[in-house]
Amino acid sequence: MKKLLLAALFALPVLFAAAQAKPEWKEMKDFHTVMSQTFHPAEEGKLDPIKNRIGEMIDLAKAWQKSTPPAEFNKPEIKENLNKLMKGAKGLSKQIKSGADDAAITKQLTVLHDVYHDIVGLCKDEGKH
């Protein structure tokens, strides 16, 4: 009986952690990979990553926008921000293709980064909305 009680006590934290786990949204993770690999170099003034990967970013934003979110994330605010992300990525692509200066590109990429984090924040706070 003692062993059973001890086993139950050790299992409780594991079960609690599993219950608290957030659902996976593959398209969010995929987009994050490109965002992090382009935004962080831009913070250091290196814009070649975003200039070379803007097409990939648009493709991943589109895939994320069209994906079926986990039920907990299926909220109008998230959909609105995904639309904003897509529009912003297309705008950034136009800037890059038109030869916009580095300051304009960095500014738009920063806006996209902020929108991305807004979406992530909405996903983390799903119980508060």
Distance between CA atoms of residues 41 and 46, nearest Å: 5
Q: What's the gap between Cα 82 and its chain centre?
A: 9
80 phi, psi to nearest 5 deg: -60, -45
Say what the pLDDT of residue 1 is.
61
Distance between CA atoms of residues 49 and 89, nearest Å: 14
Say what the pLDDT of residue 98 is.
97
- Segment 72-121, tens digit of pLDDT: 999 999 999 999 999 999 999 999 999 999 999 999 999 999 999 999 99
- Segment 12-58, tens digit of pLDDT: 555 544 445 668 999 999 999 999 999 999 999 999 999 999 999 99
CB–CB of 30/60 below 8 Å? yes
Distances (CA, A) of 19 to 10, 14, 22: 15, 9, 8
- The pTM score is 0.79
